[in-house]
Amino acid sequence: MRVLSGPALAVAVSCAGGLGFTGPGVRTQDMIVDLEEASKLVEKARNTSSVFKTFPTTHPLLPVGVGFQLWGDDINVAVANIERFKPCAAWLYAPREGPVEFENWSRRIRKVSPLTQIWIQIGTLGGAKQLLETSEKPDVVVVQGAEAGGHGRTKDGVGIMSLFPEVADALGSSQIPLLAAGGIADGRGVAAALCLGASGSVMGTRFLAAKEARISRGYQNEILRASDGAVTTTRTLLYNHLRGNFGWPAEYSPRTIINKSFVEQQAGIAFGELKKRHDEALKMGDSGWGPEGRLATYAGTSVGLIHEVRYAGDIVREVQEDALERIRSLRANNK
């Protein structure tokens, strides 16, 4: 959700009782604009309705988090903006140098904004265990299963159903709240994650179909159209490369909806030609996406559970209510 989740989406999610994050944007500097806009939207929301249950007006933090990609983001810019805007959470992911980078970022962020919660996303048991050894413990750990859209582990990812409980057992003594990510797009998944021991869950793909998402119509239409994520999505670096993005550490690759760029790559067409065709498709507007399109369409395996574009607040409320209702009805069926 690096670019796709802007201030409007993040604030809408937080307004409705979730916690919305803005991405770091294309460059770390871009977060200034997003956080300024988010601050204004929060101000406006506070003046018009009684929202942000957990963040009353007197709360010193911005009720929105910011995500970072440690391998590419500028820590000095990040820290300066965290100091200035005081987002309630900073989400750290994908260090190039391993856990020492989590530690360094956490220390720097806490120094300028001690109340900002540090969220760290991991996708492996090994990654989780390393967090126990750092001197800067995260406030929240996000456990990402192989189902997740966008960037995740290329070779050592696994379904959240067994990854989550194993990580929970390994981190249990730390008392750090764990959130489940990957493959969760409705109340069923959220309730399931709670049963696995999660304190909550993370949804990315679901919000690609939010009205407030910073996403092209063609891309969003694909989220609605695609189903059967096992077959229609794959992890591949191709679309990063077509977009000129070569920076991600080797362990990561994004899950994306398959279209002609990937199909033709598999058929043996050379990268140079694919790149030419991709760049032509960039000029085609919304028809650059879709089965006959060529543009990056990052999404998780949960695409088949998403059928309509809705306001983010409605998504949050519906998912929460559905999750609670599922737990209630199971309870009713079992004494």
Residue from 22, 113, 117, 124 binding a second copy (CB under 8 A): 124
| Residue 258 interacting with a second copy (CB under 8 A) | no
Number of residues that bind a second copy (CB under 8 A): 51
Of 82, 179, 185, 208, the residue at the interface with a second copy (CB under 8 A) is 185
From CA 192, how far away is CA 186, in angstroms rounded? 10
Six-digit token string for 153: 């582990």
CB 156 to a second copy: min, Å: 5
Report the distance separating Cα 38 and Cα 36, nearest Å.
5
Query: Does 230 participate in binding a second copy (rule CB under 8 A)?
Result: yes
In the chain, the amino acid numbered 290 is G
Q: Which is nearer to a second copy, 153 or 278 (CB)?
A: 153
Q: What CA dihedral angle connects 274, 277, 278 and 282, to 10 degrees?
A: 170
291: contact with a second copy by CB under 8 A = no
Least distance to a second copy, CB of residue 180, Å: 8
- Alpha-carbon gap, residue 165 to 177, rounded angstroms: 13
Residue 189 contacts a second copy per CB under 8 A: yes
Q: Is 204 one of the binding residues for a second copy (CB under 8 A)? A: no
Cβ count within 10 A of residue 246: 8
Angle ∠(254,320,4) on CA atoms, nearest 5:
30
**Binding-site member from 92, 109, 193, 242 for a second copy (CB under 8 A):** 193
Largest Cα span, the chain: 63
Q: What are phi and psi of 237, to 5 degrees?
A: -85, -10
Asked if 90 touches a second copy (CB under 8 A), the answer is no
All residues at 6 or more sequence positions from 191 whose CB lies less than 8 Å from its CB, including other chains: 322, 323, 324, 326, 327
Q: Which of 27, 76, 132, 159 binds a second copy (CB under 8 A)?
A: 159
Positions that interact with a second copy (CB under 8 A): 124-126, 145-147, 153, 156-163, 165-166, 169, 182-186, 188-189, 191-197, 227-231, 300-302, 304-305, 323-324, 326-328, 330-331, 334-335
